[in-house]
Structure 1
Amino acid sequence: MLIVTSDDTAFTARLAQVLRAARQARGLTTAALAQASGVSRGSVVKLERGDSQPSAALLGRLCGPLGLTLSELFARVEARTATGRLVRAASAPTWTDPVSGHRRRSLSPSPAGPAQLTEIVLPAGAAVTYPAQAYADLHQQVWVLEGTLDLLEGTDAHRLGPGDCLELGAPADCTFTNPGDTATRYLVVVARRP
């Protein structure tokens, strides 16, 4: 299994390249991306130089203005291409957030497919927040496999247990929290809205 941790310099360097290329492809300056995402220009510059270890929440804020989902961003960083219809568990790329400690594993064989599947393991007591712009133009469902997940979707609070599945509504800030004393494992399914 490819495991990417927050101190993986190759991952950080590749992330820097991908972010810069995505920004330039959209015709954005670092200042324009900073303004659109709510991330400081200094942070954008540090990320594009590979001098910073971003959290998933920060990357989520950048993805909206870049026209990417987190899954698409990670697929580009991992340099995955559609090479088949099967991803073995041992080869599924995994990344650990340096702030929340949550682990995300890309399960979809093709980053260009109609949907992206991502397994998330959220440690006990951990929380991660994504801004509404991370969900623009997306249809998303969250299915809890193990543990308990508190999901605050805008002002709507949901407590999910094993087997529960929530379809997210209109884009809103979302906070995923594990209120338990053991890890929570859940699947996120993302598809672009027509």
Structure 2
Amino acid sequence: MEQVDDRTGELDRAIGAQVRALRSARGLTLEALADKAGVSRAMLSRIERGESNPTAQLLGRVCAGLDVTLSALFAETERAASPLSRRADQSVWRDPGSGYVRRVVTPPNCGSAADIVDVEFPPGASVTMESSRNPAMDQQIVLLSGRMDITAGDTTHRLEAGDGLYTPLGQPVSFHNPGTKAAHYLVVVAPGGPRY
């Protein structure tokens, strides 16, 4: 399993600052965002102050309320722009709920329309992500090793190593590792729409 660096508190503060900035930019009060996201005002306030280590599921709800993807939220917390993303410098975050580890592969602030995230998902773990209400974003998942059950809408897909899955955002997506070993996959989030 990927080692998470000692920057958890720093990353939590950066996430909180980004949530606050996005909320302000949208003209939302703390109460309005809490209502849209379906989270308590107190929890949202703790997140914005960097006093909480929120789960992926909770951050997914906040992102849905802000109409941004989780990848976009994390991308905004990255360091200065660079065309190169060295593994040693990539942001790594562990979901305190499921234990899954996400590593942002896309170079920080490079201007790419796509975000690439490397995920290691523990055996037996599950998480459901509320998705951005913006259906103009797509995600593609490529399972590198292990097995995953991914439910998008009403359909569950069993992925084996080498399989790829396309899911438009705008609906909850559930991830479950039914195996006895960690699963390893890449998620690519990009603007949706027809490809020519």
2:81 matches 1:87: no
Identity %: 40
Q: What is the aligned residue count?
A: 191
Point out the more displaced range, 10-19 or 176-185.
10-19
Q: Contact conserved, 2:139 with 2:169, CA < 8 A, in 1? A: no
RMSD in angstroms over aligned alpha carbons? 2.1
The aligned counterpart of 1:124 is 123
Is the contact between residue 137 and residue 168 of structure 2 (CA under 8 Å) also seen in structure 1?
no
Q: Cα distance, 1:3 vs. partner? A: 3.7
After TM superposition, the structure 1 stretch with the greater mean CA deviation from structure 2, 61-70 or 139-148, is 61-70
Partner of 2:62: 62
2:77 and 2:30 map into 1 onto residues whose CA distance is 19
Query: Which structure 2 residues correspond to residues 2-81 of structure 1 after superposition, within 5 A?
Result: 3-4=4-5, 8-78=8-78, 80-81=79-80
Deviation string 1:59-93 (CA, Å, 9 cap, x unpaired) is: 11111232322122112223x34222x21222221
Amino acid at match of 1:22: L
CA deviation after TM superposition for structure 1 residue 110, in Å: 4.0
Counterpart Cα distance in 1 of 2:23 and 2:32: 9
Query: Is there any run of 5+ residues in structure 1 with no aligned partner, and where?
Result: none
Aligned partner letter, 1:33: L
* Change beyond 3 A, Cα 1:135–1:58: farther
1:115 Cα offset (Å): 0.6
Q: Deviations over 1:101-149 (max 9, x none)?
A: 0000101114431111101100000011111436643111111000000
**2:44 is aligned with what amino acid?**
V
Q: TM-score, normalised by structure 1?
A: 0.90
Q: Name stretches of at least 5 consecutive residues in structure 2 with no aligned partner.
A: none
